[in-house]
Chains A and B, each alone.
Chain A
Amino acid sequence: MKKIISIKNVIISLAILILLWQLLFSISNYDKALFPSPLMAFDALIEMIKNGLLLENIKASMYRFAIGYVSSVLIAVLLGVILGRLQSVFKYINPAVQLIRPISPTAWMPFIVLLFGIGDIPAIVIIFIAAFFPVLLSTVSAVGNIDPIYLKVSKNFGIKQPSLTWKVIFPAAFPQIANGIHLALGTAWIFLVAGEMVGAQSGLGYQIIDARNNIRADILLATILVIGIIGILLDGLLKLIENAILKSWGGDE
């Protein structure tokens, strides 16, 4: 029942969006080539699907995203679990983290391009940075906030490292860690596009720049839509994985 309502909501919401777009198109005086209608963008989308350009760019983007995001999450969680248990060490690391964290990952872009050149690596590094801090900080705080009774029970029953981390600390902290991983997904996806706009010759971000250079606003808007849709799909996929893990650990929802 809940699902039906939400699908209905999605359709209505998207219909309003397209309607507004169409309305703006109808009343604006811009050149059609600069501000295309929904239908024109849709035609451009079909064109890109047919000539294979879209698939190629999606593949390039997803490859970078997968490597950057997954490696970032793994390293951040690992480091976060360690630092969460060593709060006295984290005290000395936290200030540096807080200094670097608010810097937009794109600010590193020129530096990264200078170091690694144009290609896959700049986008991967940007995604890595974008995902790293939210995951690291949520993991450190999740591990620090574990109910002390779990640790007391573990001590009583003789559970020692590394079992302690795997059997107790990680599952106890997981719901909060998952929040961080989830948050980081959205951020990382946003910065993928930014990374590819500057540092790549392929991918969805590059396609936007390319469309601008060719004054193909229809392709540009179609690409933007595709980026949004993939973002939603990735979010849904992650939610499924999260729920599967939580369910196997006794959560009903």
Chain B
Amino acid sequence: MYIEVKDACKNFVQDGNEFVALDHVSLGIEKGEFICLLGPSGCGKSTLLNALAGFERVSSGSVTIEDTEVTAPSINNITIFQNYGLLPWRNVLKNVELGLESKNVPKSEREQIARKYLDLVGLNGYEKRYPKRLSGGQQQRVAIARGLAVDPDIIFMDEPFGALDAITRMKLQEDILNISRKEKKTIIFVTHDIEEAVFLADRIVVMMADPGRIKSIVKVPLGAHRDRTSEDFLYVRDKIFELFNLKTEGYIEYYI
């Protein structure tokens, strides 16, 4: 298995109460898969992602990537955050070059690579702008370009489109799906949006809260081109709704 989580537990103490964020979670991920971690807040999906990305250690159990224990973040596995994490004192180009600088890529080559990925995310011509002059969607595109520029093996995405409006979000979902096919990266994507998960994932890891655990893993048997209105799509989506006990019986389909 490329990425392996074995019997991972994570406990927090909050205001004197112990809180179980991950309760004996085990999960295997193949190289090149697009995995969505889906669940309500408090289900431990972000904790699991942070453990995979190396920002937090699990309390017990193990997290390995290519049979190596994850102990710290690595430039081979880039995390995309909900609030983008762009450096506001750098322009778009310099932001994308950030990781290339610590990889000691020569200056001329850095710019070339950065421009290539800005092009890929559709931000050609925005090189000299500063992050605060961009919309949220554009900022997240810069963050994605910055992540891709260092040619990582894995991309972790922590509710990356959570702060965006619905239309922008859908556009970015399509783009990230295309990019993931083109760049052949392993992507682990945290979301609480069922439709987003069905649209993006090869497999959806459905998680439950209190304690945080995996309820089931749903394979999404949809092809590369996904239509949000197709019957197959709705069928998979309904299956997930059922898992969350959100589907009401009867003829009227009423979703919250």
Binding site for B on A (CB under 8 A): 149-150, 152-153, 155-160, 163, 167-168, 171-172, 174, 249-252
B150 contacts chain A at the CB level, 8 A cutoff: yes
Stretch of B22-30, B37-45, B95-103, B160-168 with 4 or more beta carbons under 8 angstroms from chain A = B95-103
Candidates B75, B130, B132, B133; contact of A156 at CB < 8 Å:
B75
Whether the Cβ atoms of B90 and A149 lie closer than 8 Å is no
Query: How far does the Cβ of B72 sit from chain A's closest Cβ, in whole Å?
Result: 7
Q: Which residues of B contact A251 (CB under 8 A)?
A: 89
A-B contacts, 15 listed (Cβ < 8 Å): A149-B81, A149-B85, A150-B85, A150-B87, A153-B81, A156-B53, A156-B73, A156-B78, A157-B78, A157-B98, A159-B98, A159-B102, A171-B89, A250-B130, A252-B133
Query: How far does the Cβ of B162 sit from chain A's closest Cβ, in whole Å?
Result: 14
Q: Which residues of B contact A160 (CB under 8 A)?
A: 102
Q: Which residues of B contact A163 (CB under 8 A)?
A: 101-102
B79 contacts chain A at the CB level, 8 A cutoff: yes
Q: Which residues of A contact B55 (CB under 8 A)?
A: 152, 155
Task: For B91, give the chain A residue with the smallest CB separation.
Answer: A250
How far is A163 from B97 in the complex, measured between Cα atoms in Å?
14
Q: Which residues of A contact B53 (CB under 8 A)?
A: 156
Q: Which residues of A contact B150 (CB under 8 A)?
A: 157
Whether the Cβ atoms of B132 and A157 lie closer than 8 Å is no
Interface size class of B (residues with CB under 8 A): 20 to 34
How far is A155 from B131 in the complex, measured between Cα atoms in Å?
20
Whether the Cβ atoms of B73 and A155 lie closer than 8 Å is yes
Whether the Cβ atoms of A158 and B99 lie closer than 8 Å is yes
Q: Which residues of A contact B81 (CB under 8 A)?
A: 149, 152-153
How far is A160 from B104 in the complex, measured between Cα atoms in Å?
12
Whether the Cβ atoms of A250 and B103 lie closer than 8 Å is no
How far is A209 from B90 in the complex, measured between Cα atoms in Å?
51
Whether the Cβ atoms of B131 and A250 lie closer than 8 Å is yes
Q: Which residues of B contact A252 (CB under 8 A)?
A: 132-133
Query: How far does the Cβ of B213 sit from chain A's closest Cβ, in whole Å?
Result: 26
Whether the Cβ atoms of A250 and B88 lie closer than 8 Å is yes
Give the 4 A-B residue pairs with the shortest CB-CB distance, closest first. Answer: A249-B89, A250-B130, A157-B99, A171-B89
Known contacts A149-B83, A163-B102, A250-B130; A155 and B72 CB within 8 A of each other: yes
Whether the Cβ atoms of A250 and B132 lie closer than 8 Å is yes
How far is A251 from B99 in the complex, measured between Cα atoms in Å?
23
Given contacts A250-B132, A251-B89, 15 further A-B contacts (CB under 8 A): A152-B55, A152-B79, A153-B87, A155-B72, A156-B75, A157-B98, A157-B99, A158-B75, A158-B99, A159-B101, A167-B98, A171-B89, A250-B91, A250-B130, A252-B132
Query: How far does the Cβ of B83 sit from chain A's closest Cβ, in whole Å?
Result: 6
Known contacts A149-B81, A163-B102; A157 and B75 CB within 8 A of each other: yes
Query: How far does the Cβ of A177 sit from chain B's closest Cβ, in whole Å?
Result: 13
Known contacts A250-B130, A250-B132; A157 and B102 CB within 8 A of each other: yes
Q: Which residues of A contact B77 (CB under 8 A)?
A: 156
How far is A159 from B98 in the complex, measured between Cα atoms in Å?
9
How far is A157 from B98 in the complex, measured between Cα atoms in Å?
7
Whether the Cβ atoms of B89 and A250 lie closer than 8 Å is yes
Q: Which residues of B contact A168 (CB under 8 A)?
A: 87
Task: For A151, give the chain B residue with the smallest CB separation.
Answer: B85
Whether the Cβ atoms of B103 and A158 lie closer than 8 Å is yes
Query: How far does the Cβ of B117 sit from chain A's closest Cβ, in whole Å?
Result: 14
Most chain B CB within a 10 A radius of its CB, from A150, A156, A168, A252: A156
Whether the Cβ atoms of B85 and A152 lie closer than 8 Å is yes
How far is A1 from B58 in the complex, measured between Cα atoms in Å?
59
Query: How far does the Cβ of B2 sit from chain A's closest Cβ, in whole Å?
Result: 19
Task: For A149, give the chain B residue with the smallest CB separation.
Answer: B85
Q: Which residues of A contact B99 (CB under 8 A)?
A: 157-158
How far is A149 from B85 in the complex, measured between Cα atoms in Å?
6
Candidates A156, A159, A171, A250; contact of B79 at CB < 8 Å:
A156
Q: Which residues of A contact B131 (CB under 8 A)?
A: 250
Task: For B103, give the chain A residue with the smallest CB separation.
Answer: A158
Q: Which residues of A contact B85 (CB under 8 A)?
A: 149-150, 152-153
- For window 170-189 of chain B, which residues contact chain A by CB distance below 8 Å? none
How far is A72 from B72 in the complex, measured between Cα atoms in Å?
38
Q: Which residues of A contact B88 (CB under 8 A)?
A: 249-250
Task: For B99, give the chain A residue with the smallest CB separation.
Answer: A157
How far is A172 from B85 in the complex, measured between Cα atoms in Å?
12
